[in-house]
């Protein structure tokens, strides 16, 4: 199953590597997984000034997943 994260860039997330690290960490936290889910796409939307990261979850993880309504704050960038 595909899921997406919206990342609001800041001073710490100017480089692609930092954005991917934020996306991986946040996806792992959301899915309560031991390993980082693969990030399949990372796109910038200039009209919104946000990045969207798309990642894939394992079906077994989705069945046990509790829905998280998140306005999460990550140290490296703000994620919604």
17-61 pLDDT, tens per residue? Answer: 999 999 999 999 999 988 889 999 999 999 999 999 999 987 654
Q: How far apart are CA 2 and CA 17, in angstroms?
A: 21
The alpha carbons of the chain give a radius of gyration, in whole angstroms, of 12
Q: Which residue has the higher pLDDT, 40 or 12?
A: 40
- Tokens 């704050």 correspond to what residue? 73
pTM above the 0.85 mark?
no
pLDDT of residue 66: 53
**Does residue 11 carry a pLDDT above 50?**
yes
50-72 pLDDT, tens per residue? Answer: 999 999 987 654 455 555 545 55
């Amino acid at each position: 199953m595909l899921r997406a994260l919206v990342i609001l860039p800041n001073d710490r997330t100017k480089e692609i590597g930092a954005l991917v690290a934020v996306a991986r960490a946040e996806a792992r936290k959301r899915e309560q997984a031991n390993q980082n889910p693969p990030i399949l796409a990372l796109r910038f939307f200039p009209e919104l000034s946000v990045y969207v990261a798309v990642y894939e979850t394992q079906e077994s993880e989705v069945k046990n997943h509790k829905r998280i309504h998140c306005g999460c704050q990550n140290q490296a960038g703000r994620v919604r």
